A and B are shown apart, each in its own frame.
Chain A
Amino acid sequence: MTWRTLSAVFVSWALTWAALSAQTIPNKNPYEGNPEAILAGMGGYRVRCADCHGTDGRGVRGPDITQVWSTGRSDEGLFNTIRRGVPNSEMPAFAAPRASDRDIWQMLAYLKTLATPAPNEPPRGNAENGAKLFRTMCVACHKVNGTGGRLGPDLSRIGTARSREVLLARIRRGSEDFRAGFEPVTVTTADGAPIQGVKKNEDLFSVQIMDTRERIQGYEKDKVKAVENGKKSAMPVFGPDRLGDSDLDDLLRYLQTLRGFDPTVKQ
């Protein structure tokens, strides 16, 4: 092997190594604990993430992400989730060059400061009984793993998306905010018949709703008597009179087991 061949081999190896390293994502956040990066990441997080995940990371439309590390996710995995998005969900991909690698690592460095450990408290409640309660009280409006109603949000992943405390508050006290696509609305038709449902879309001249019979339909505003936005969520409040503390524990336990649904047909 001549020097020329050797150097060609070396150059080729070096180029391959450089190309591979350029594509490799570190498995540990290089900015973790860096105060400047955390500050920059806070800005990035609040602009890009907080509308869905909340300023505190505990979830609004998107899931609670304060326990992603304590439930076993790695820095590298979270980086890829942000870079690529989550298919079949509202989580978009944050592609380069609009979001640089540094932007993503900085956001994760900030998110790490919001992270909470896994709960120490042992899980309470009987999930089996919770599932029965769900089928009795919730399934008319909420779908789980392909079964259930459509008026409320699909809860197939709710166990990864919301903490027990948040779920408890929603069940006991109702929802203060309406999630987009589930705002209560009443359309009064020209002949005076009220149609109740949830709003799927709206512009100045029309409104598109799903009514309580799950019929999806659009209405032109100048051809109906009224379109009124509801003040209260369509989600009923389940106080202790309707759902005892023990049953509530069971229901919450069941909801915490819901961690995603694979719709692929298995032969």
Chain B
Amino acid sequence: MMRILHVFAVCVLLAAVTVAQQAPPAQVSIQEVAQGLPADGSRWLTFGGNYENHRHSPLTQITPANVSRLKQLWTFQTATLGNFETTSLLRDNVLYVTGPQNLAWAIDARTGRQIWRYRRELPPNLTACCGLVNRGFGVLGDKLFMTTLDAHLIALDMKTGAVVWDATLADYKVGHSSTIAPLVVKDKVIVGAAGGEYGIRAFIDAYDAATGKRAWRFYTVPAPGEPGNNTWAGDSWKTGGASVWVTGAYDVEQNLLLYGIGNPGPDYHSDSRKGDNLYSNSLVALDVDTGKLKWHYQFTPHDVHDWDATEVPILADLPIAGQTRKVVMFANRNGFYYTLDRTNGKPIVAKPFVMTTWAKEIGADGRPVLIPGHTPDEKGEVTCPDLVGGTNFWQPSFDPSTRTFFVNAREVCMTFIAWKPTYTPGERFTGGSGQRVRASESPAWGALRAIDPVTGDRKWEFKFLSPSTSGILTTASGLLFSGDADGNLIALDSRSGALLWRYQMGAPLHGTSPTTYVIDGRQHLLVPSGTTLTAWVIE
């Protein structure tokens, strides 16, 4: 009897300890995912922090007054080549991180120690265009979802990193790959195909989170008989590209996914694909249950400068001209900032946020008013912005309390050159290229800019010597974290743009931003740069 009592006492004690730790349920519910960033800082479960992609934390322990007391808590190193472009997820004090070359880890957020590691065996003849990177996990139930460079979507067991299911998106041998962070909505995992420089015909897919079975596919280049196919001359739609490699937003109320679509292929040669080339360089709104298109807005019809619209869309409801408008904010690679009505895709605001020489303005019909002389040919033509764009896939952020949109902007011009390409499956199919204008003629520089989305006007800017490719995190305490191209992690006052603190990381933040969360009551800042993740706390 004594023995039974003893066992009972141990069980009661264990239960008490468990309750004290307030462990969340074992399974990640869709409600948790949909709630975005909680006030207690206990989780970060989607690419943008919430479905609206605000990348704005409610946490306030780290403030403009104490940010200079940030100290490193730990550093995690990938021990491999390549750089982080990932947004790490956090749940129950564990970080879930994807890295270069389709490595992934579960890491103890208290100490930076690895819990498990996943490595995908990649084929030797990969054609992934622009770096062997990955932009992060999605999560639901007990599974993590990750896209792969050989164009698969895999589900991993959160506890062990073991593969639960493996779905093939498309054939990597003809140029498909996937680097996008999956977005989990309801019971579906939303992903897209990259490979716009290889003459693929791209798509957005939804997969059943439990089984990996494909629920629907939306081709970003319509086939004959489908609306929009007449915007592609002849058979050019077959190699139209229009890839999808940056996570979109989800509008809960309208049940709509909003995703930015990449450039048409071939990138630069106009005559190879006459027409507007839908849905390249567009924002598309898809019903999440069916994948049906509700509306689209094409930022750059018949793009010839490789200006993918694969930037991050941010959703908010804003007071504009006495009305509350449901908007999507979008700083585009083509150099224009847009505030669109997200019920119909019509522009409310469209203004350049960097120097643009190819279009005078966005007309009343929503189309750019072109300035002649900016179609690349064999001799070359100079256009601003360059092919990397006024901004690109690195994440902007939005502070709802001040209604401010923050973006890392580039001021760079380029000589674009084009020639007629020949399509060979699996080989690059760009029909041109760009050469940066010499610094003595047009110096390249960058700035982190705060934009009023109601007017498109600039509130402030923080200038960089060279253009930054870092994402941005803002917090409710009025802080902004980002990085420059030279490896400096910076903290600015998000209301004024004043520099508050900096640290030389040794490698730039590229295509990703810091994130923040709370462990054991202390706010942490997590910084991915180069091949390291570094956690910081206030001392």
Contacts and interface: CB of A to CB of B under 8 A. Distances in A.
A43 B419 contact: yes
B435 A39 contact: no
Interface in B412-464: 415, 417-422, 427-428, 432-436, 438, 440, 464
A100 B465 contact: no
Contacts of B421: 40
Contacts of B415: 46
A202 B484 CA distance: 12
B125 A97 contact: yes
Contacts of A204: 464-465, 484, 486, 488, 502
A43 B487 contact: no
Interface residues of B, number: 29
A151 interface: no
Which residue, of B380, B428, B504, has the highest number of chain A Cβ atoms within 10 A? B428
Contacts of A205: 488, 502, 504
What 4 A-B pairs are tightest by C-beta distance, nearest first?
A: A203-B486, A39-B419, A47-B433, A43-B433
B465 A202 contact: yes
B433 A176 contact: no
Given A40-B421, A100-B427, A203-B488, A47 B465 contact: no
A38 to B, nearest CB: 9
Contacts of A203: 465, 484, 486-488, 504
B282 interface: no
Interface of B: 125-127, 378, 380, 415, 417-422, 427-428, 432-436, 438, 440, 464-465, 484, 486-488, 502, 504
Nearest to A177: B440
Interface string A18-52: 00000000000000000010011011101100110
Given A46-B380, A51-B435, 9 more contacts: A42-B419, A47-B434, A47-B435, A55-B435, A100-B427, A100-B428, A202-B465, A204-B465, A205-B504
Nearest to A201: B486
Contacts of A177: 438, 440
Contact of B435 (A36, A50, A97, A102): A50
Contacts of B440: 176-177
Contacts of A40: 419, 421
Contact of B433 (A46, A97, A100): A46
A: contact size bracket: 20 to 34
Nearest to B465: A204
A198 B304 CA distance: 40
Nearest to A103: B428
B498 to A, nearest CB: 14
A204 B486 CA distance: 8
A11 B156 CA distance: 43
Given A47-B434, A203-B484, A42 B465 contact: no
Contacts of B418: 43
A40 B429 CA distance: 11
A162 B151 CA distance: 47
Given A47-B434, A47-B435, A97-B127, A39 B465 contact: no
A205 B484 CA distance: 11
Contacts of A42: 378, 417, 419
B432 to A, nearest CB: 6
Contacts of A44: 433
Contacts of A39: 378, 419-420
B124 to A, nearest CB: 9
A46 B417 contact: yes
21 contacts: A39-B419, A39-B420, A42-B417, A43-B417, A43-B432, A46-B380, A46-B415, A46-B417, A47-B434, A50-B435, A51-B435, A55-B435, A97-B127, A177-B440, A203-B484, A203-B488, A204-B486, A204-B488, A205-B488, A205-B502, A205-B504
A204 B489 CA distance: 11
Contacts of B435: 46-47, 50-51, 55
B126 A97 contact: yes
Contacts of B378: 39, 42
Nearest to B129: A98
Nearest to B485: A203
Nearest to A203: B486
A51 B433 contact: no
A145 B502 CA distance: 42
Nearest to B424: A102
Contacts of A100: 427-428
A97 B128 CA distance: 9
Contacts of B484: 203-204
Nearest to A55: B435
Contacts of B126: 97
Contacts of B420: 36, 39
